[in-house]
Amino acid sequence: MKILLINPNTTEALTDLLGDAARSVLPAGTTLDCVTAERGVPYISTRTEAIVGGLSVLEILAQHHRNYDAAIVAAFGDPGLGAARELYDIPVVGLAEAGMLSACMLGAKFSIVTFAQALGPWYRECVEWHGLAGRCSGVRMLDGTFRDISDVQGEKADLLVELANRAIDEDGADVIVLAGAPLAGLAPQVRDRIPVPVVDCAQAALLQAAALAALKPVGATRGSFARPAAKGSTGLGDALAKRIAHEDAA
């Protein structure tokens, strides 16, 4: 089984973090490849940047989807996830989606804990889009800035543990979801300091991508995720334009 992890951020160091965390739970017989977006911002944290990142996801999938059994959109707000699911036949899972749904199986309410205030609005819209607001006990964000997006967890681990504990005590969280690509791999390191289950989204996403691939679902030809009819376009990358035009090989 082959899985593709797509980092919609342009920072290679984040791709490495995500890949390392995902590989730590890689089932036997499964391989993981990682691709970093070439267009976009170093780290997506706004609605604007999610649109840019979503387009990068679609373009990367246009180039690579035929070689994989499942794919991961590896930014917490799941940019482009619905579009990817509509346009391609392989299972595609989002980092936020995998983390939140895994959390749902470990308790009744999960709280999302992340490292920057800027992420809150986008993350909350992501929770709503997934229809999981009723399961989410809150989104908690650290105040202040960080030095380096690729070493956020080194810098902020203690503060994040403290914030997670407040989410448990004050918001009633049964499970903590450590959110954001820069936190990939942190959960296993801090779980002994947090008195409820903690989900690592990169691990969860890899496991869910593998699980979905194992179910061998057919690509939808009806319903709201059936592949759209062929259409011409202007100004898109070549592979994506061909996919939209049904001019890629069947």
Whole-Å CA distances, 198 to 100, 119, 172: 11, 19, 14
Strand arrangement, sheet containing 110-114: 136-141, 110-114, 175-178, 198-200
- Residue of 14, 50, 126, 142 interacting with its own copies (CB under 8 A): 50
Give residues 105-144 in contact with its own copies (rule: CB under 8 A).
105-109, 118, 120-121, 124-125, 128-132, 134-135
* Rounded least distance, CB 33 to its own copies, Å: 20
| Closest listed residue to residue 53, CA positions, set 96, 111, 3 | 96
Residue 35 makes contact with its own copies by CB under 8 A? no
Strand arrangement, sheet containing 70-73: 31-36, 2-7, 70-73, 92-94
- Residue 162 or 225 with smaller CB distance to its own copies: 225
Residue 21 makes contact with its own copies by CB under 8 A? no
The secondary structure of 184-207 as a DSSP string is TT-HHHHGGGSSS-EEEHHHHHHH
* Rounded least distance, CB 112 to its own copies, Å: 15
- Residue 128 or 238 with smaller CB distance to its own copies: 128
User: Which tokens in the block code for residue 30?
Assistant: 């499964």
* Rounded least distance, CB 154 to its own copies, Å: 22
- Residue of 80, 180, 182, 185 interacting with its own copies (CB under 8 A): 80
Give residues 146-185 in contact with its own copies (rule: CB under 8 A).
168-169, 172-175
Which part of the chain contacts its own copies (CB under 8 A), choosing from 13-21, 155-163, 178-186, 193-201?
A: 193-201
Q: How far apart are CA 12 and CA 37, in angstroms?
A: 9
User: Which tokens in the block code for residue 217?
Assistant: 């679902």
Number of residues that bind its own copies (CB under 8 A): 96
Q: How far apart are CA 12 and CA 32, in angstroms?
A: 16
Residue 239 makes contact with its own copies by CB under 8 A? no
